[in-house]
Amino acid sequence: MSLHRLLAMRVGVPRPDELAGFYAEVGLATDGDGRVTSPDGGTQVVIEEAPYRQLLGVELGAAHERDLDDIGGRLADLGVTIEGRSSSLTAVDPISHVRFRVTVAEPLAQAGSTAVVDNRPGATVRRNERASAVSQGPRPPRRLGHLVIGTPDIAATQRFLVDGLGCKVSDQADGIVSFLRCSTDHHNIGLVHSPVPILQHYSWECDDVDHVGHTATALLRADADRQTWGLGRHFAGSNFYWYLRDPSGAFMELFSDLDVIDDDDAWEAQRTPLALEHVANSWGPDIPMEFIAPHDLPELQAAWAAR
């Protein structure tokens, strides 16, 4: 795969300082100038002021300079204009209006986290001591893992991302949701239907389910109204999830234990189509209506129409 990682996203919101403050509460480093840094991923969010909340851009990493030429050729075949091409390539998805920038980047390198030692029936591996997780607390997530774009035309945005940029399809339920990858993660970019383009949610990787739990719990103790959906486990991607609403109105997910795909043929050989009952989760609370139609959707539709 020429693409190999999700580098960053650029978001526009009416109150950038409020969102930066939330990220600081999550444990991420903020520089006072809208740049948000994770421990493993470097600068992963750039916050800009905008009249309504929106996803402005996504930055992807490619392995080699020649990959940019290949991507440029494929986008040209699709009739997409290349906006910039020097050390990076920039093109806009004509449907979502999100600006994608591809640069040559080093592979992601992550130090391993401490192994979890879980007792199970008939398999006691931890004796005469408490689980280490009970003494841990909230801490910064490791990196930005994925983002989900609400688009009025999933198929067209998917063509741009797959046939143009070179993302791969990991799972999909036609017309409902597509899970695309630009790395060995099961998904880095998701697509869902929305009447106008929106950033539906974005997701930070945690070490394990206890890391998800400690961090989400601390954020909810500070403001219980942030609760959106979780704790549960998705079917697509297999990950544990917990979603909270950020102050701009987008959903922030904390996740752990996502499927890794490093052999495309092996994944395809066992993949079955996503049935309707698999779309939301494997277990956990029912999907809230708010997750499908966020409370500020009418406002976003009006803003999109007036732009």
Residues that bind Fe ion (CB under 5 A): 203, 253
**Which of residues 252 and 300 has its CB atom nearest to Fe ion in the complex?**
252
Instruction: Tell me the three-class secondary structure of 75-140, residue by residue.
Output: HHHCCCCEEEECCEEEEECCCCCCEEEEEECCCCCCCCCCCCCCCECCECCCCCCCCHHHHCCCCC
Separation CA 121–CA 92 (nearest Å): 53
C-alpha 230: how far from chain center: 16
CA-based max dimension of the chain = 65
* Nearest distance, CB of residue 232 and Fe ion, angstroms: 11
**Which of residues 203 and 281 has its CB atom nearest to Fe ion in the complex?**
203
Q: Which two tokens stand for residue 113?
A: 């986290």
**Which of residues 10 and 233 has its CB atom nearest to Fe ion in the complex?**
233
* Nearest distance, CB of residue 50 and Fe ion, angstroms: 23
* Nearest distance, CB of residue 209 and Fe ion, angstroms: 15
Backbone angles phi, psi at 279, to 5 degrees: -65, -45
**Which of residues 178 and 203 has its CB atom nearest to Fe ion in the complex?**
203
* Nearest distance, CB of residue 234 and Fe ion, angstroms: 7
**Residue of closest CB approach to Fe ion:** 203
* Nearest distance, CB of residue 158 and Fe ion, angstroms: 17
**Which of residues 158 and 203 has its CB atom nearest to Fe ion in the complex?**
203
Residue carrying structure tokens 């994925």: 146
* Nearest distance, CB of residue 306 and Fe ion, angstroms: 30
Q: Cβ distance 81 to 91 under 8 Å?
A: yes
Q: Cβ distance 255 to 241 under 8 Å?
A: yes
* Nearest distance, CB of residue 17 and Fe ion, angstroms: 26
Report how far apart, in Å, the C-alpha atoms of 26 and of each of 9, 43, 53, 139 are.
17, 15, 19, 8
Q: Provide CB contacts within 8 A for 205, sequence distance 6+.
A: 40, 141, 142, 143, 144, 145, 255, 256, 258
Residue 38: strand, helix, or coil:
strand
**Which of residues 71 and 219 has its CB atom nearest to Fe ion in the complex?**
219
CA atoms within 13 A on the CB side of 243: 26
* Nearest distance, CB of residue 256 and Fe ion, angstroms: 12
**Which of residues 75 and 211 has its CB atom nearest to Fe ion in the complex?**
211
**Which of residues 68 and 199 has its CB atom nearest to Fe ion in the complex?**
199
Output the CA angle 290-295-296, nearest 5 degrees.
Answer: 140
CA atoms within 13 A on the CB side of 147: 26
